[in-house]
Amino acid sequence: MSEPGTEAATGPDGRTPPAPPARETVRARLSVCLVFLIMGATMGGWSARIPEVRREVGLGEAAWGLATTASVVGDFVALAVITVLIGRVSLRRLSLAGAVLILLNAPLMGSASATAVLLAALATWGFAANLLSTPMNAQAAEVERRYGRPLLSTFHACFAFGMLGGGALGTLAAATGVPPGTQMAAVSLLLGGLLAASGRWLPEEAEGTDGTGRPRQGQGQGEDGLAARLRRRFTPQLALLAAIAFLDSFAEGAAGQWSAIYAADFLGTGEAVAAAIYTGLTATAAFTRLVGDRLTGRLGHRLLLRVSLLTAAAGMGVALVWPHPAVAMTGFAVFGVGTACVLPTVFALAGRQPGLSAGEGVSVAVIGQWPGLLLAGPLVGLLAGVWDLRIALLSLVAAVLAAALLAGRVVE
């Protein structure tokens, strides 16, 4: 007969359940969820009000497309800055700086009425978003390490639902006549208050440890110079993860930008159906991320990457092979399911590389991700001009299949 309390100690399956996380670890998780939510809600709210801001500034379609490239300048500057600062400046300071700048800049974007103001706001947005991306993903990897189980997909779900919520709020504000600047200022005030209350909970990496929690090697002895730190960072495994991030970001970015256009122009659907196809793509990705951590625990990172990318290829392939609105809606939704957990998995792996801090590892994955997002829209547009949009979107199938091939070489 067992000792009293043995059943509770071992659990019904005979295994000892993990100890509950410390209060500090739970707070760290909540605070990191908030910064992911801040980026998503701001992006979603802005996207919903773009038509009004464009009319207010008085730019045509071509001029607007040119103006939006201002954010690329900010992206590039932030990428250079974060590559230098990561590993030398605390994750908490970098994350807070990026989140605060996003919140302060959002009302400026929404209330822009002159081209110069719009350009400055978009450049600031690009800088702030890229400044935040690396430290918040590194902090997510640190929280995951403390919990001892996969968590990255949940954090990215916070971003996705933030986008959906911000877009829905923007739609409601537009319907009720609330100006974009007022809407975004109110959201910034609310989220800023939450950040002020929880910012001190944002986690730091244990000093002198790598992304696995083990002591870092190679410190001192001339290894602290910038060139040496950058050389140490670009390992074959991180280069592989950066390549997967590039290919997946290209496919995700192109699908987001061209799905509704494909439905409206190539399939001849109305605007409502075209918008529904885009919404289905983003919604399925968001909900899939809610179960992504559980899938990671069951399949492992490498197998999840390959299954996800092959699913994405199948979904996009079906949407393009059979050009029918219902099939396209289903295909893009399946594509969203397939791509949902790819970047969270890449960042999780990049943040646990031996000998490097989580921030240093994640920064390499972000370097790969950024050009994929940047090239997605223009490259598909160029291919569509040479052939047609349906043929151009086959490049997304090629991208995710290539990423699936590379994923087979990932080391857990």
Task: Check residue 226 and give its pLDDT.
Answer: 65
Task: Give pLDDT tens digits along the chain (412 positions).
Answer: 444 444 444 544 455 556 678 889 999 999 999 999 999 999 988 988 888 888 888 887 678 777 878 888 999 999 999 988 988 889 999 999 999 999 999 999 999 999 999 999 999 999 999 999 999 999 999 999 999 999 999 999 999 999 889 988 988 888 889 999 999 999 999 999 999 999 999 998 866 555 566 656 554 444 456 677 777 888 999 999 999 999 999 999 999 888 888 888 888 888 778 878 888 888 999 999 999 999 999 999 999 999 999 999 999 999 999 889 999 999 999 999 999 999 999 999 999 998 888 999 999 999 999 889 888 888 888 888 888 889 999 999 999 999 999 999 999 7
- Distance set, CA 56 to CA 41, 103, 256, 334, 360 (Å): 22, 21, 25, 37, 42
Residue 15's identity, in one-letter code, is R
Task: Check residue 221 and give its pLDDT.
Answer: 40
* Separation CA 248–CA 238 (nearest Å): 15
Task: Check residue 129 and give its pLDDT.
Answer: 94
Say whether 266 sits in a helix, a strand or coil.
Answer: helix
Task: Check residue 175 and give its pLDDT.
Answer: 87
Portions of the chain given CATH number 1.20.1250.20: 22-204, 228-412
Which tokens in the block code for residue 164? 């959906």
Q: CA nearest 269: which of 256, 259, 255?
A: 259
Residue 15 and residue 139 in contact, taking contact as beta carbons nearer than 8 Å: no
Q: CA nearest 120: which of 83, 74, 80?
A: 74
* Separation CA 100–CA 269 (nearest Å): 41
Task: Check residue 395 and give its pLDDT.
Answer: 95
| Cα dihedral across residues 403, 318, 344, 49: positive or negative | positive
Residue 213 and residue 206 in contact, taking contact as beta carbons nearer than 8 Å: yes
* Separation CA 251–CA 200 (nearest Å): 36
Residue 375 and residue 250 in contact, taking contact as beta carbons nearer than 8 Å: yes
Residue 320's identity, in one-letter code, is L
* Separation CA 244–CA 405 (nearest Å): 9
Residue 268's identity, in one-letter code, is G
* Separation CA 141–CA 378 (nearest Å): 32
Task: Check residue 32 and give its pLDDT.
Answer: 97
Q: In a 10 Å sphere around its CB, with 0-12 CB exposed, 13-18 middle and 19+ buried, how is residue 381 labelled?
A: middle
Q: Which CATH number, 1.20.1260.10, 1.20.1560.10, 3.30.70.100, 1.20.1250.20, labels domain 22-204?
A: 1.20.1250.20
Provide the CATH number for the domain formed by 228-412 in this structure: 1.20.1250.20
